[in-house]
Every structure is written in structure tokens, then in C-alpha cells.
Amino acid sequence: MMEEQAKREVVKTPPLKKLRKSFSIFSCYLGEKIDLKKLQENLKKYPYITRDPPIVLKLALGQYAVLTKFGVVTFWNVPKRLREEFIQEISQFVEEFDKNYPYFDTLKVFIGKETEDVKFGKVYLTKIDKEKVQVISFVISQSVALERFEKEIEQRVSELERLIGILRLGKIKKLREKDLLREIGDILAVRQRTISHLSLFDKPETTWERAELERLYNKLFYEFELGDRFDILNEKIRFLADHNKLLLDFISTQRGHFLEMIIIILILIELLIFLGETFLKW
């Protein structure tokens, strides 16, 4: 009797494979930052799954958008047309908005696995909930935002190396002080902007609530190589800081030499005037 009941229970329970669902994730960079407070105050069209950052909105049945403070929005199963419409709707809340930024990433999430894992751009979950949506979206958003800063810092490092190369070859005439100061200003601005945003790349508070969320975050963090990328970025920031100081010292020295030349010229002029007056007296 018990064996027959057990068989009936097994038949009633569908296998995990049939229960498995999947999500296609698309994450893209829109601008410096998203004002989540103003967005929530003004955007009433969509229901909010959670209002704590990163905020999750339901765009349609089974389709979601997750927004972070640092300018990245992550879409879950959202078709391109709806993505474009939503991006246009929130553009007014994005600082330095540009829909054509070339920074984006994709991910596949599968639900209904016996164990949870992350590998080769795919996330396998036993089940899905809003906290896991937040964690997954947060990490891929970190990766996308980090790519923006990586590219920007790399450009400035290349520019700085070009300036140093000119100085090393002694081609000082090619560097006008005004141009040099502008380049240094641009480099410092990028460095400061990057540093100010790095504080936003901390572990999300959600991971402190459940051990499984922290494990998921750590696996995603490793998958996107965020630790190594952070270290490399910080190293380049230190490089910019050190060499900016050298360039500023060079400008200061050049100004010192210029002032010395002016003083010498003034002394010579005064000497000539003195000699001229003395000659006239004779």
C-alpha cells in the first residue's frame, strides 16, 4: 500500500527539467548615474517589485528592468523595442545620458537546477526571487560600468604616455603649456570620476541577508573577474596620479625658467639704460 502511494506521489511531481525556465539578460550603460529617487517619484507607469537599490520594475509579464545608481540598466527577457522605449522614458533621470554608449553585456539564467552555479556566461538557479534578480543584475551592472571606466582610463594612460614620450625626446616646443594643462585636467577629471564611482561597486546589502545570496554574488564576482579588474584599474589610477605630479612639476620648472629669463632680460635692460645715461653724461 505504501509503495503504491509513493509511486503515485512520484508521478504527480514533474521532473525539474520540465519546470526549468530561462531568462535572457541584457545590461547596458546609459550615463554617469541614474537618479533613482526622482525616477520613482515620477515614473508611475510600471509596478515596482522593489524600491531598494537596485530597484526592480515589471515592464510586462515575465519582463523586468533593474536600475542601479551608477548608470546601468539590466533587462530580463525584454525585447529590443520595449528596451528602447523604456530607455527613452528614463533618459531624463540619467546624468550625461547617451543611448549609444558601447558598453553592454549579456547573460543567460536557467531556473530549476538541482544546484546553483555560474560558469561560461550562464547562471543556474534552483529557484528565482527578487533578491536573486537584484544580485545578478547588480554584478553584471558592475561589470558593464567598470568596462566604461576601464576604456576611459586606458585612453588617458595612452595620452599620458604620449606626453611623457614627447618630453623624453626633448621636443618641448611641441607642448604648449595651455595644451599640457588641458590634458592634465582631462586626466585628473577621469581619475576623480572613476574613484568617486568605485565606492558604488561594493557588495550589495542584499547579500548580508542570506548566505545563498552571498555565495551567488561571489560566484558572479569571480565569473566577471571583477576583483582582478578592480586591481588593474586602481593600479592605472595610481600611475596617472604619480605621472600627473611629474608633469605638473615640469610645468612649474618651465615657469621658473621663464621667470628667470624675464628677470635676466629686465636686468640687461636696466644695465643698458644705465650705460646709455652714463654715456650721454660724458
Q: What is the mean pLDDT of residues 75-86?
A: 96
Q: Please name the residues in contact with 208: beta carbons below 8 A apart, sequence gap of 6 or more.
A: 214
Tell me the three cell numbers of residue 232.
588593474
Q: List 74's β-bridge partners, or say none.
A: 27, 66
Q: Is pLDDT at 11 greater than 50 in this prediction?
A: no
Residue 20 has what pLDDT?
A: 42
Tell me the three cell numbers of residue 170.
626633448
Residues in the chain: 282
Q: Is pLDDT at 260 greater than 80 in this prediction?
A: no
The number of beta carbons lying within 10 Å of the beta carbon of residue 146 is 24
In which residue are the cell numbers 508521478 written?
A: 11
- More confident site: 270 or 241: 241
Helix (H/G/I), strand (E/B), else coil: 234 = helix
Please tell me the CATH code under which domain 14-129 is placed: 3.30.310
Report phi then psi at 108, rounded to 5. -115, 135
pLDDT tens readout for residues 174-228: 556 566 667 667 766 776 777 777 666 678 778 888 889 999 999 999 999 988 9
Contact 90, 43 (CB under 8 A): yes
With cut-offs at 50, 70 and 90, classify the pLDDT of residue 126: very high
Contact 157, 258 (CB under 8 A): no
- More confident site: 116 or 164: 116
Q: Name the amino acid, one letter, at 121.
A: G
Q: Please name the residues in contact with 64: beta carbons below 8 A apart, sequence gap of 6 or more.
A: 49, 56, 57, 58, 75, 76, 77, 78, 133
Q: Is pLDDT at 156 greater than 50 in this prediction?
A: yes
The number of beta carbons lying within 10 Å of the beta carbon of residue 47 is 9
In this prediction, what percent of the chain has a pLDDT beyond 90?
43
Q: Is pLDDT at 84 greater than 90 in this prediction?
A: yes
